[in-house]
A and B are shown apart, each in its own frame.
Chain A
């Protein structure tokens, strides 16, 4: 039977390790054992790092003995494989980086380790974070711990699955159009994307630079706040990181929503999601009200253009960001008769179909003659979407809406790209506006053709820089509803 240590929240583990009730070494061993016993059924990690984890644990235990109380002492974490960790393989889920060893550590990861976290491994993701199911990983399959026949969501699917399967307490993810919030909803987790620029992108392998934001996937809101507190803040290595003081969010967790106005988005009416999901979200809104919030009707008239806007801006940026994978300096190289042929062969062999599709779309959108019609207009639409949010926030403090339009779907269910793109319908507008947003478990639904109830996520979104308000409110909702505790992962069941 698995050790009780692995089911503890990050907050509990950190308290216990810092208070010497247990050691980082014990937690690490328990977690590595868990990984060994369930990985075959989950596939969260592309690389497990037992040696590094043990070395980090030893150092944390030493710090504790020396009288330090690191805020994340001994907390096992999963690092999405698009973040650099010095000396470890960092693949982005792509063949083009399949054997690339990062020569430096991402700022966010370094800050987590400084806070006492233990890196258990590098987690699977959609190739270069492009996808919503983890199915676009070229290097491995990750299963949803609540139903192994279904996807964990994506692109941070490995990090989400690892935390849901107790293979880590915190998963580091990156959210470009919903890549933390959607897998959070699919895996019964809190998935939190802070304000764009709050957490340094230095060492996060870029997909779309103006949208990418690192954030945590956790089993509790308090854990998300702790991870945020460890990672947030200005980084001189990232010119787009916010040079603003960060007040700790862990001290802002609330027990009710008294005095808050929560906007319900007119254009996001949940009736279209079917009776069962509609009922879950209606109940969620009523629960917010029950906790003291005043529900107000708000409108985001341009939000409907979010997906179209996103699928111009993100591919445009990725077409340029991914140019460096050319076989010259690192990563895969397939030789050719001249340098041009080497480029072509390397990129043809190294990138998967979705990455190629987006590079093509982005290259086209930036081309002379099309730039104004596509890229420039998309940027204008982006500005309008951000303005809609600003207008809405004049009459409310938070916005509530679904995190996804369905529960986790079976492998292969979304075979045409457009239906997959629509998975991010509810999460893309916030990303385009740079706003802090999270998904928090809000109920269960047994999907058509499924046998197990699958989790659903409520998305909460706050104005820029209002992470404390956002996490505080999510905490009140989580404590009052406790939806996450209704079911445990189906792993043991599936092994039997």
Chain B
């Protein structure tokens, strides 16, 4: 994007909620399975069948709203969105129109460089998913030219939350960072699997451009068919570029829905505003209004876990961890909770992060045992960090100890005491090692004095070896240099 324009982006997400059963019937809410094996008269829209709302789905949605600081109105309702489509069993979708379960709220997110940002939410509402059509005979799976279509209703009636953002995002990077934060939060809340590849997270983007510094909103287009965060990024970038090109060449952007073409890397027009549906929304007479009780809302609020953005802010701003490290921890709740206990016991977040994301994560990868499930207790690790911080051991010994603790060696302090691994910081003792090494390596000493100063490392290493690794490396360095220069 050239500096003369600013992009204005809003995101609409559909997220399948993780519940035992579907939104309005008792069928299992599970991905996959034989087509039409998870269906009943209700989710097939059989004549006479009636919907009964799933209380767990409603709680999930309220929980999500609370996590984003949304308002939970005391009165909400379900409406029917009427339109004909073969994979929609009733030819209307039970959704929410003018009185959603949650209103407002803010999604806080961060960019790769650690900058915290926020995007306001318009609303989050609850609805039911549709079935899936498969078009056969056209070669490319599209309806155009197909000879027949098959419909699988396993997904029909799965609880779906629609989360609509305000147009607060200004770049494709921000849009993706927003989505990542949304995804992390919903995962942390346990309300959804949020898997884009299984379709449990789907999103559309509303994109417009305007002259930089302007407060007016330009004409927007809606981008659909984005199947990964990467395609979201590419589609929005491509659409911004397309709109700038139109405006630069004196044209006007038309309000329309555009589909993202992953292969060719462009968006193409799907339908214009004039073709927009009249959904004839009206309150669903089969369902009674939703009136969340205050005490239920407060119970859900009290049960909210630590939220990813809160963790990130604590790790990156308060602890000063690198954004990448902080993000790594945020993305692994069990690891982050482990890390929190190590920090609580050691008081050294940076060192805690180094061990948790470094040695421990490496060992976890090698052995297939999660850090939190390993034999290394956070308290033992804190003890190790403490030994290191107080210079009782050096980093080399520390590395060795971590490996042994992973195998179940227990308290590092006990090992250090039992095996005399404490770092030697007694100058007299170290001086003896240095003298021994220098006299055993006269040729090397001569090289050094002849100007080959890079042999210094070799000599230090020999001293460390002689001390069985226990000598304070800084002190060794200092003494070796002093002796060589004398």
Interface residues of A (CB under 8 A from B): 82-84, 90, 92, 97, 100, 102-104, 106, 201-206, 208-210, 236-240, 316-317, 319-320, 323-326, 328-330, 339-340, 343, 363, 366-368, 371, 375
Contact = CB atoms under 8 A, between A and B. Distances in A.
B289 to A, nearest CB: 11
B41 A104 contact: yes
A323 B84 CA distance: 8
B84 A343 contact: yes
A239 B286 contact: yes
A326 B84 contact: yes
B282 interface: yes
Most buried by A among B51, B53, B278, B281: B278
A52 B149 CA distance: 37
A103 B50 contact: no
B48 A106 contact: yes
B151 A103 contact: no
A307 B83 CA distance: 28
Nearest to B277: A368
A85 to B, nearest CB: 10
A366 B286 contact: no
B47 A84 contact: yes
B44 interface: yes
Contact of B48 (A202, A208, A317): A202
A339 B86 contact: yes
B46 A103 contact: yes
B89 interface: yes
Q: What DSSP secondary structure best describes chain A's contact surface?
A: loop
Contacts of A367: 278, 280
B47 A97 contact: yes
B80 A320 contact: yes
A46 to B, nearest CB: 15
Contact of A104 (B46, B52, B280): B46
A209 B285 contact: yes
Nearest to A128: B47
Given A202-B49, A239-B288, A320-B80, A326 B91 contact: yes
B136 to A, nearest CB: 14
Contact of A237 (B52, B84, B287): B52
A339 B135 CA distance: 12
Contacts of B281: 366
Nearest to A343: B84
B92 A320 contact: yes
Nearest to A317: B285
A138 to B, nearest CB: 15
A319 B278 CA distance: 14
A319 B51 CA distance: 18
B84 A103 contact: no
**Residue from the set A103, A208, A323 with the largest chain B CB neighbour count within 10 Å:** A323
A204 B285 contact: no
Contacts of B41: 103-104
B404 interface: no
Contacts of B170: none
Nearest to A344: B84
Contact of A366 (B50, B52, B82): B82
A478 to B, nearest CB: 33
Contact of A328 (B46, B82, B151, B285): B151
B50 A323 contact: no
Interface string B62-104: 0000000000000000001010101001111000000000000
A174 to B, nearest CB: 11
B286 A204 contact: no
Given A84-B47, A324-B89, A240 B288 contact: yes
